[in-house]
Amino acid sequence: MYIDTHCHLHDEKFTDIDSVVEEYLKNGVDIAINMGCESTSSLQGKLLAEKYDSVYFAAGCHPSDSNQFNQNEFDKIAQLTSDEKCVAIGEIGLDFYWEPYDKEEQKQCFLAQIELAKQEKLPICIHSRNATEDMLKLLKSNKDKLLYGGVMHCFSGSVETASELIKLGLYISFAGPLTFKNANQLLEVAKFVPDELCLTETDSPYLAPHPLRGTVNTPKNIPVITATLAQLKNKDNVEFANQVKINAKRLFYKLK
Ligand SMILES: [Zn+2]
């Protein structure tokens, strides 16, 4: 019933993947999309997808790893995209939070992968931190390349920013912070985003939802986030979970 559209099962915090998968399946989560951070974790995603029916993956280079993005890295990522379980290019974007960062280097890394997504007919999973203005500008000037759409992962901005992203044809994904006590602005965003453009994710092992904050997050916690979103929208929980699944399958069209 549930889908986790963004997680990092390749993370070293997960020492026993068999039991992580078993637990989330037991919790009604039947699909988890593993996001790559660079070519190595993207390849790990592919291997996990080969081992577990419920795992799909995205391949990409995260902005914080853009300093190691070169032709070789690009080729390795590009090679993974034809895999039947590679559903997106991600996670890619801009991160002006973790210092030191090189804005131009990040933009080139992001743009090269937006091109790749267009070429490979795949949607993109976007990471944006402390970079709203540059992000919107870059996306707007490359709108023609976003033919297969995309999603702003772990959205944390304003209603105005969400509105701009929706105009660009992008989905908005909600994660654990929606359940935090200080989520005031996000609650407004959640009410604003049309049901058919909402996605949910854990970003595990990070960002465990309330009241599990501080623990290692896993896809088994996605029902908590989906239920919070359904409640904010005055929707039946099961119905809304199904809506999110339909949305995910529309965007990530390679999902079975
Ligand atoms: Zn992530």
Interval between CA 8 and ligand 1 midpoint (Å)? 7
Ion ligand 1 nearby residues (CB, 5 A)? 35, 203
pLDDT at 87: 98
Q: Are 106 and 66 in contact (CB under 8 A)?
A: yes
What distance in angstroms lies between residue 218's CA and the mean position of ligand 1's atoms? 12
Q: Measure the N-to-C terminal CA separation of the chain; round to a whole number of Å.
A: 13
pLDDT less than 70: residues of the chain: none
Q: Can you read off the two tokens belonging to residue 21?
A: 């998968």
Domains parsed from the chain with CATH numbers:
2-251 (3.20.20.140)
- pTM of the predicted model as reported, rounded to 2 decimal places: 0.97
Q: Give 77 Cα–ligand 1 centroid separation in angstroms.
A: 17
Q: How far is CA 160 from CA 77, 142, 154, 163, in A?
A: 33, 20, 16, 5
- In the reported structure, the alpha carbon of residue 192 is separated from the centroid of ligand 1 by a whole-number distance in angstroms of 24
- Residue 14 Cα, ligand 1 centroid: separation in angstroms? 15
The 10s digit of each residue's pLDDT in 20-55 is 999 999 999 999 999 999 999 999 999 999 999 999
Distance from residue 216's CA to the centre of ligand 1 (Å): 14
Contacts of 131 (CB under 8 A, 6+ apart): 93, 94, 95, 96
Q: Residue 169, Cα to own-chain centre: how many angstroms?
A: 16
